[in-house]
Amino acid sequence: MGLIEASSNKSFWRGVDYYEHNKVLSWGKSEDGNYYGCVQGSYREKYKVSIDVEHPRKSKCTCPFATDRQVVCKHMLALYFTAKPKVLEDYLEMLDRLEREQEEEEERLSIQHEQELMKKAKQMSKTDLIEELVLAWLRIEEMEKNSYYY
């Protein structure tokens, strides 16, 4: 599990924001291949951050959110993305791809559903169709009437 996966959704997007606004004031690579740095906080504070890429929960930050807790905060993520911008780029691309795939799947299901309804309608008698149509109109009218209140 990486730093991104170990963070909350909120921390992730705040970390992206901090990275994009260059909140990482200084950083370096330690001998073990991890990273350390100084990150600007929301106000005047500056936080000392060190991240462990292999063991995200061993990462440290002096901010109140992360002090004495094994959590991944936005400062750690901002440092991570500053040191490894490609990781964020790939991750955001992956999110985009997932979203596109989900939209395509929804579109496919919606077409499939429409085809099923069409098939069902074709198999009904004219009397049944008229009855269904009138019921559908009444339901639409009812929904429209209710929506006035919102």
Of 89, 92, 55, 59, nearest to 74 by C-alpha is 59
Q: Which CB, 55 or 139, lies closer to Zn ion?
A: 55
Cβ of residue 136: shortest distance to Zn ion, in angstroms? 56
Q: Which CB, 73 or 88, lies closer to Zn ion?
A: 73
Cβ of residue 144: shortest distance to Zn ion, in angstroms? 51
Cβ of residue 28: shortest distance to Zn ion, in angstroms? 17
Q: Which residues make up the interface to Zn ion (CB under 5 A)?
A: 61, 63, 66, 73, 75
In which element (H, E) is residue 107 found? Answer: helix 85-122
The interaxial angle of helices 74-83 and 85-122, nearest 10 deg, is 100
Cβ of residue 47: shortest distance to Zn ion, in angstroms? 5
| CA 2 from centre of chain | 16
The encoded tokens of residue 13 equal 């997007």
Q: Which CB, 42 or 102, lies closer to Zn ion?
A: 42
Of 74, 73, 56, nearest to 17 by C-alpha is 74
Q: Which CB, 3 or 66, lies closer to Zn ion?
A: 66
